Structures are given as C-alpha cells and as structure tokens.
Chain A
C-alpha cells in the first residue's frame, strides 16, 4: 500500500525497546543538554541569545527535505542571529521519537511531517497551536482544513498531495468521466490487442488498499467519518457502514475476482507501476510520486479527474505536509517567528517544491508550479479532495476496512452483511 502520508505503522521490532532505549538515550543526551534558561533584563546581544539558550532552533527533518530548508535557515540566521539546526532523522521513526522525547525536554523545537500526525501529537500533548492570522488565506483551503484540529491550526503546510487518474495518451487520447466509461474505454484498448489491463490500481494481496479506492467510494456518497459543526471529522460519528457504503461494497464484488476482474488484489502498487510503465494499460490510479519514473520511461501522461462510480464527486484523501512546533520548545518565540514569518514565504515554499516535487500549499507558489500541467491537474483534483482524517480514531479504521474490501474483491464475502459487520467492529474499537 503506497501511502506516503498515512500513519500506517512503521514496522519494526525495535519499537518494543524504544521506550527503554529512550531512557538510556536520555541519560546520554542529558550529557549534551545545556544549562537552563535565564532571562536577562539588560539589553540583549548575540551573547544574550546564547546565554538564554536561545541561539538555536532544532528542527527534525528527513534527508530528502533537509536541503530545501538550508536557504531559508541561512536567511533567518542572517536576520536574527539564530541558527536553525537541521537534524536529519529517519522518517519511519521520527513521529514516535518526537512523541517520546518532547516530554523529556530533549525533543526538537520543530518537526516536519504529514498532517495526519496531528491527532496523535495533540492526544499526547506534544505540539502547540500556531495562529496564522491573515496568512491562512494565502494557503490552499484544503491545506488549512487539514492542519486544523479541534478548531485550532496546528501547522504551517507546505505541500498538498493526492491521487489522480493517469492516462497513457498513446493508448487512449480522450478523457472520460465515469469509472464505467473508463473501464469500457480501457477494455476497448485491451480488445484491440494494444494493452493487457483495462484499468490498473495498486492493491495489496494481504491488506487491500482503501486509500486508493476511496475516490470511488466517495463518488457513491460514502465516507468514513461524519463532520462536526466546525467542519472537522467527528470520531463519534462513523458513517462508513451506511447504505451508501453497502452499495459501494456490492460494487467491489462486481469489480472483483468473481465479477469483471477490473480490481485485482494480486496487483501490488509496484506491479501496477511496472505494467503501466511498459504500456500494458491505458489507466493507472496513483499519486504524483510515481509520475517522475513514468515520464522517465517515456510514457505520455495525461492527468484525468478521478472517475466516478456514483453521482457524487470523486473525492480523494488529501495528504498535507507541514511544520509543527513542539509544545515544550525552549525557544518557542523564535521558533514561531521562523515558522509563521519565514516558512510561509514564497521563497521557502518554492524551495520545498523544487526539492520535493510535491505541489505547494502556498497559493502563490502553486501558481508558479502550475506552469507544469501535471502539477496543475493534480492540484485541481486536490481542491476537490478531503483531508485524510487526522483524528487518532482513524488508526482503528484502516485494518478492518482494508481486510473487508479485500475479501469483497476476492468474492469471499457478502457485502450486505460483511460491510455493516466491519463498521460495527470499528465502532467497538473506537467506542463510537
């Protein structure tokens, strides 16, 4: 399951010892920790900054994103004399390390990550809200919505990511709107002997992949959680099991092994990508992360809106990456200054796009990036999307959701009973 933004658990036996080792690390780190903060009343100089323990901001970032932040960090240092230390961390472990280390006071001031970490961060009390003020309107509405949790904004977004329908224009020159039309058009190409698959989407033979199938589900009017009056996801209102969901479940059986075989759980994300790259299918439902490789392979791509299976719009999950401030930052004011007044600038957001290639969250930077029609098309689809739920309750949903979809695709279940049963199971887990 290719889920660059999901909090699907990193896999390691190490996790068991992390708790224990963090204590050991804390011992080691306490050796490096500095003295305590003193606030001097005399006019401050650079020395005062240092004496106040305020001469640096520490940011945890992964190796891929670190280069993009060098320039803006240098500018901040030139303006304020405060150094932004970029500490490179392993992306798979950084979320849990942050949660473990912030309470000890040894955590960083800032962390980079996807928005669906926010729920867990808030639950553990490790991040502080960030008030963006008027700057909020300079960002894409979806990005701000994603960063908002319990009515407060918790991060500065820099990229918005979602899936779209990729079409090989050499095989199919024209776009269609519904899933049935797409499959029919794809089947036409297959019947003409020019391709092997009518439609490709990466699933998983062991877990299914609700993330990639979600646009089809939303187009039939089914969602996971209902909304609170403020517009956030309401963990008490799991709407997944409703009649629209059951209708979608029936469709899964129709599309699956015992039906038209459009959805094939044996085709993993890697296999789908490989087959599409070899021109074996006109369609591939995937995200921007696969685009560079496909272009390199010489596939002429068009980005089509997500196909609909019902009469509602097909809304993908949107993943938003951003910067979050530690609740226990010893340098909170300077960190807030850096986050709200430097990382929100066009220069910073442009730089993040240039390095990472993810569509920028800042409208002005997105405009510039949209000179690439692929970025523009993905962005347009993202505007229509819904943020991936960041509420901690979402963790309990993925597993059962995926397993049930997988059973249905394989024709092993009865949609009318299995789908409500899945919803009931999830409800019992989250106490909704």
Chain B
C-alpha cells in the first residue's frame, strides 16, 4: 500500500504551478526566516521537545542497560541538535527528518531482511543456542509415573531455602539443593494436614516465596539415591512432584543423552542437536547459513518447475494491471474533464469509491460475487450459468485482472484528472486552430505531456502491482493449483504470494530465512525494472524539452 500512498503524494507534483517566483517571497523570508524571533522561538520549542523525548528514551535505555542502542540514540540526538542549531546548512535542515525516518522504516528493514536471509531463522530455529538448551532441558523434565503429589511449604534457615514436603500419607520430610531429603517429626501443620513449620526454620509467606522465586524454582531434592525415582521440585511453591529428566545435557561435550535409549544428540552444525541417525531434537537455534537460502530458492525442484510460469504471470499481471487501469482511468478522466458536463463532482466521487475500500476486503467480496453457483455474477447476470471464474486457470487470471482493474482505476483516474487540468488549454486551442482532430490532439499533444508527469507514477504502480499480495491472496489464493508440483502453487500466484506460501504455508513451519532470501530476489527484480524505466522517463523528459 505504501507505494500507492507515496504516489498519491507525488500526485501533488503533477500540477506544478510553474509560474516563477511569487513577488513577495523575499519580503516574507524576512518575517519567517531562520533569524526572525518567531522562527527562533518555534525552533527552540520544537527542538526542546525532541530533546526531551530523546533524553527520556536514553534514560530508559540506560536503565535497561542497552548500551549499543543508547550510543546510537545519543549520536542521533547530537546530530539533530547540530544540524538545527548551526547557522547555514539549510538543505540538511530540510532533509534530516526525512532521512531519519527513511533510515528507521526503510533502510533498517531492508538491512534486517538481508541479515535474516543469511540465517535459518524460523520455526525450530527461533532463538539462541543457550535458550534452546534451556528449553530442551525444561521440556525433558517428566513427572515420574504414578508418583504422589506432595503438599509443599518453603522454609528458610540462615539464608538457605528448604522445601517441606507432606506426602499423601501424612509423612513429612525436608530437603534443599544441598541437604538430602530427611524425615521430620516435629513439624507443625495447618488445618488441611499440610506441614508448614519446623522449629528453627522461618516459614515464607506467598509474597516472600514470589520474591525468592528464582532460587525456589531451582531447588531440586532427590527422592532417594536411585535417580529413577526422580527429584522433587515445585513450580508454584505449594505443591511438588517428583520429576526426572528424559534428556540429560552434558556441557563438557555439548551433547544431550536420551536417558531411556542412551542415544546421544550432538550439535549438527545446522542449528540443532541430532543423533547418529540424523534424527533431530525439535527445538533448535538460529545460526548463520550463508547463501543456503538463496541456493535452496533456485535448486528446489518443486519450486523451480513452477517458478518460470509464476515469474511470467507476475510480469503479465503487473504490466497488464498498469496498462488497463491507466487506460480506463485516463479515458474516464478525459470524459469527465469536459467543461460542459453536468454533475461532474458526483460522478467523480462515485469513481473514487472502489479506491476507498480496503483491498483485502474487496478481494473477499469479489470472491463471493464470483462463486460459480451462488455468486451474484453467475446467478443474476448470467442466469444461473455455472462458470468457474476463480477455478478455471485462464478465467481465474482474467478475473484477477478485472478485479484489480476495478480496484486500481480510481487512482489512475485521480492522477490523470489532476494532470489533465494542469495542461494549458491554449495548447488544445492552438492545435485545433491548426486543424488537428480530437484524437490527434490527444495522441500528439496531451498524451506525451501527460506521460512526462505520470510515467514515474506508472512505474510506482508497476512496482506496487508486482507485489500486489492482497488481491491475489484474497481472491484466488493463488489457485487453481498447478498439477506439476507438490507445492501449493497455482496459476494466479505471483512471486510475492509464492514467497508467502513457500515460507509460511507449507512444510512444517514458517521459514523467515527463505522468505527473506526470496524477498530480496524480488527486491532486486523490482529495483532493476524501476531503475531502467526511470532512465527511460528521463529520456522522455528531454525529448519534450
């Protein structure tokens, strides 16, 4: 969407006043220029607000000990102050806010995607190796089968925490991380029969338990010398169960051992622990994988086969969408640009309506309209014909284009109307005096002039449609599916929906790494096409000059 909005803003440039400098400009500059009192005041207040916010953010960063980000924040704040407090350097003052937001919202995102593309980040590779080891250890703690529930109290003696267990039969025992489990006979009990105090020990109340929770959660008291009976642990400070690990981690050799089968799992270099048979533990971690994701994108046979037709359709879809929307928008703009047309404003508002609906909503609505049996189109307009608008490969493509035309022409209508109104009417008159017909005037005079201002918007529109995820995904979901691939890729899939499905809708999980790699490939394609086209546009401008 952003591209469209940006282009909408650009539309403001379509109608340049181009009438030279207004005469009063110099006089006004003295009133509101950088040196006037009012200007200085505004500057000081705005800069003060920015600095206050920056100081607040930096304080918070300091408290959370995020040193790197703190340093960056400090540098950015200094730079902003330097730019606005020094004399001169006017261009920097205009550019600074834009560059700042460009870096945060565009450059950073692109760089981050670039970084992700070289990792295996995704399901099963979600965090660091330390996190993965901790998670596997936590999940490996299994309750010893048929072991009883112990009511538990937390006691303290000389800064050491103890757990006081009451077995279902009323037997009371005490233990800690260092003290082995020992029977207690002189324990005090509460009304439910749960032991809650022992002479010589302090009993912790719930608030104290919570305040010491890390230490309490770490207490593990072996039930007996036999490790098969497990160790008592509490998770809530009031009940304990005997747990024993099904996997044991050895930090020295960096391996997990399955207690039951004896199989060892070692770091397989791909961000997971695997045994000799290549079976992996489900939880792995994020590592850098170099160009693996790019290699995979181009070598996976199930991806390669349909890739060519998807690329072809992506270009067809993007180019056809631009041509169709531009043609219809321009035609309507010219039609409604007649001075003698009545109710022009009403028509124009009606024209813009499709543009006002969110694209994904329109996609869903159209999907209903095009239902083969119950859709309004087949049922009402075509008298009950069962035409598979979205399920036949060719018709689905046409449907997608038509719906996108419906969604896209108001934008072109808007920009063309703006551009047409900025064309001097003298040109038109002069051409007519010279004996040119309406078509000739349009083709030889208006269109070339229009293209100078609109061509960049057409390129932007191409880039937008190249990645027009909403329409495709909501209307056809990319279907109907191709027969020659096991992947869920279909005739109306464009690259971006293919990336989405490959990375998120398939296999056994989301794969941010592969998605980022494919996204970068798309970025390179779009950037190349745009760069080449912009060059062409420049040539167009020079011809007109």
Contacts and interface: CB of A to CB of B under 8 A. Distances in A.
Interface string B321-358: 00000000000000000000000000000000000000
Contacts of A11: 360, 473-474
Interface string A396-414: 1001100100000000000
Nearest to A48: B211
Contacts of A79: 206
Contact of B236 (A23, A99, A336): A336
A306 interface: no
B163 interface: no
A261 to B, nearest CB: 11
Interface residues of A, number: 85
A37 B212 CA distance: 10
Contact of A120 (B66, B470, B509): B509
Contact of A393 (B236, B360, B474, B508): B508
Interface stretch (A121-129, A296-304, A312-320): A121-129
Interface stretch (A14-22, A66-74, A138-146, A244-252): A14-22
Interface string A376-412: 0000000000000000110110011001000000000
A35 interface: yes
User: Which of B216, B477, B481 lies at the interface centre, i.e. has the most chain A CB atoms within 10 A of its CB?
Assistant: B481
Given A206-B479, A429-B506, A44 B210 contact: yes
Contact of B109 (A21, A41, A428): A21
A300 B341 CA distance: 57
B141 to A, nearest CB: 7
A207 B481 CA distance: 10
Nearest to B386: A266
B507 A430 contact: yes
B213 A133 contact: no
Interface in B53-71: 56-57, 60-61, 63-64, 66, 69
A100 B209 CA distance: 30
Given A13-B469, A30-B60, A333-B213, A19 B142 contact: no
B226 interface: no
Contact of B139 (A19, A150, A334, A428): A150
A362 interface: no
Interface residues of B, number: 92
Contact of B241 (A131, A331, A425): A131
A231 interface: no
Nearest to B125: A124
A392 B126 CA distance: 14
A420 to B, nearest CB: 13
A130 interface: yes
A37 B474 contact: no
A163 interface: no
Contact of A333 (B217, B477, B510): B217
B159 A19 contact: no
Given A11-B473, A48-B211, A49-B211, A125 B127 contact: yes
Interface of B: 56-57, 60-61, 63-64, 66, 69, 104, 108-109, 112-113, 116, 121, 123-124, 126-128, 131-132, 134-136, 138-139, 141-143, 149, 159, 202, 204-217, 235-239, 241, 243, 246, 282-283, 360, 368, 371-374, 388, 390-391, 467, 469-470, 473-474, 476-477, 479-481, 486, 488, 496, 499-500, 504-510, 512, 515-516, 519
5 contacts: A31-B57, A80-B210, A124-B126, A207-B479, A337-B238
Given A15-B510, A49-B207, A102-B127, 5 more contacts: A20-B112, A41-B159, A48-B211, A125-B132, A126-B126
Interface of A: 9, 11, 13, 15-17, 19-21, 23-24, 27, 30-35, 37, 39-41, 43-46, 48-49, 51-52, 54, 79-82, 96, 99-100, 102-103, 120, 122-126, 128-131, 133-134, 150-152, 205-207, 264, 266-268, 270-271, 327-328, 331-334, 336-337, 340-341, 392-393, 395-396, 399-400, 403, 425, 428-430
